[in-house]
Amino acid sequence: MTAASPGLRSLLIRQPRASAAAVAAEPPPFPRVTAAMPHEYLYDDWRERLERNLSRRSDGRWDPLTYVGTAP
């Protein structure tokens, strides 16, 4: 590849699939403890969720194993 072939270089560079605004608008990938919701809990079926997550292709988000909420 030479400097005279910018078209080839652009084909070899990976481009993002989503814009920065689209990524920022996504929900957080994992639960976050905040002052309003200070406790993290496991789902009752967390073992089933983990099994589902591990048995499929990891080309998307996993089902969360925990959730954040207030004290019961």
Residue 71's pLDDT band (cuts 50, 70, 90): low
Torsional sign, CA 27, 29, 34, 37: positive
CB 37 within 8 Å of CB 70: yes
**Residue 20 has what pLDDT?**
86
User: Domain segments of the chain: what residues?
Assistant: 6-69
CA angle 23, 18, 46 (to 5 degrees): 55
> Is 3 a residue whose pLDDT tops 60?
no
Average pLDDT over residues 52-67: 82
**Residue 46 has what pLDDT?**
92
pLDDT per position as a tens digit, 6-46: 666 565 666 677 888 988 888 777 778 888 888 889 889 99
